[in-house]
């Protein structure tokens, strides 16, 4: 799917993207089916290497396994020190969007262009402490900016409102840029993020800590609609 999936992602906005960090990995197929039934349009996959962040998750085999079980675009959040070393393998495994961290690389614009040349959509992520200025040069080379509202590495952390200021600045300057937020998103933080101009909302705990994913996602969608003034 890769490149073509950007339109699928855009047309799903505003969208809640479940983060599979906190799902039941003993029943991955069932989890994906439950999320699809709950109306999920895009999946967010957190790849951590135990080096760029002090946590480890999974890599290409899980992406490839998911690819065989769903047509949903796979949005892969690379929290790894050397994104270029694994970018092609991730594309081959079936990733549709590869997002790397600006803090991990020396020349973000060049990394973004190299990833884009692989025929996949590219996102660039920045942690709460990282200034927007650091990613300016790379913006012409990316399809999406991921504004972290927690320090990358773990689910279940508290939302940092500094992300809202960054979203507002980016939305004002780049009306067409796809904007994503990740970390501590729940029914109380998703509305302010939408008001700040965000398109894609990554959610871990506020879905996977609930028994009923459909109800959890519906509540998040309602909060977005309220923020837009379109709630019924």
CA angle 91, 49, 130 (to 5 degrees): 90
Out of ligand 5SP, Co ion, none, which partner does residue 143 contact, by CB within 5 to 8 A per kind? none
Phi, psi of 47 (to 5 degrees): -105, 120
CA angle 107, 165, 184 (to 5 degrees): 90
Edge-to-edge, what's the strand order for the sheet holding 97-101?
Answer: 15-18, 200-203, 178-182, 144-148, 121-126, 97-101, 74-79, 43-48
C-alpha 118/C-alpha 120 separation (Å) is 6
Out of ligand 5SP, Co ion, none, which partner does residue 150 contact, by CB within 5 to 8 A per kind? ligand 5SP
**Binding-residue total with ligand 5SP (CB under 6 A):** 21
Check binding of 75 to Co ion (CB under 5 A).
no
- Residue 39 known to bind ligand: no
For residue 25, the minimal CB distance to ligand 5SP (Å) is 13
Residue nearest to Co ion (CB): 77
For residue 79, the minimal CB distance to ligand 5SP (Å) is 6
List 46, 143, 199, 221, residue binding Co ion (CB under 5 A): 46
Tokens coding 110 = 């060049």
What residues are labeled active site? 46, 182
* Residues 99 and 122 sit within 8 Å (Cβ to Cβ): yes
List 75, 143, 182, 186, residue binding Co ion (CB under 5 A): 182
Q: Which stretch binds Co ion (CB under 5 A): 80-88, 109-117, 157-165, 176-184?
A: 176-184
For residue 213, the minimal CB distance to ligand 5SP (Å) is 13
- Residue 44 known to bind ligand: yes
Q: Which is nearer to ligand 5SP, 83 or 184 (CB)?
A: 184
Site for ligand 5SP in 35-54 (CB under 6 A): 44, 46
For residue 47, the minimal CB distance to Co ion (Å) is 9
Check binding of 83 to ligand 5SP (CB under 6 A).
no
Which residues here bind ligand 5SP, judged by CB under 6 A? Answer: 19, 21, 44, 46, 77, 150, 152-157, 182-185, 202-206
Binding-site members for a divalent metal cation are 44, 46, 77, 182
Give contact residues for Co ion (rule: CB under 5 A). 46, 77, 182
């Amino acid at each position: 799917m890769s490149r073509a999936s950007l339109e699928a992602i855009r047309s799903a906005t505003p969208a809640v993207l479940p983060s599979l960090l906190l799902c039941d990995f003993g029943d991955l197929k069932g989890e994906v089916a439950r999320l699809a039934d709950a109306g999920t349009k895009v999946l967010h996959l957190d790849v951590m290497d135990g080096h760029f962040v002090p946590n480890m998750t999974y890599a290409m085999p899980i992406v490839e396994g998911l690819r065989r079980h769903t047509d949903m675009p796979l949005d892969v959040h690379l929290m790894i020190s050397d994104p270029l070393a694994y970018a092609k393998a991730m594309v081959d495994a079936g990733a549709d969007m590869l997002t790397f961290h600006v803090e991990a690389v020396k020349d973000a614009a060049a990394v973004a262009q190299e990833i884009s040349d692989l025929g996949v959509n590219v996102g660039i992520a920045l942690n709460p402490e990282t200034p927007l200025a650091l990613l300016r040069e790379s913006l012409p080379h990316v399809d999406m900016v991921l504004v972290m509202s927690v320090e990358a590495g773990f689910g279940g952390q508290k939302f940092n409102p500094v992300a809202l200021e960054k979203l507002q600045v980016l939305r004002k300057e780049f009306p067409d840029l796809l904007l994503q937020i990740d970390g501590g998103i729940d029914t109380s933080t998703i509305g302010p993020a939408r008001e700040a101009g965000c398109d894609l909302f990554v959610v871990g705990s506020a879905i996977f800590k609930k028994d009923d994913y459909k109800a959890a996602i519906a509540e998040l969608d309602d909060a977005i609609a309220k923020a837009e003034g379109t709630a019924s």
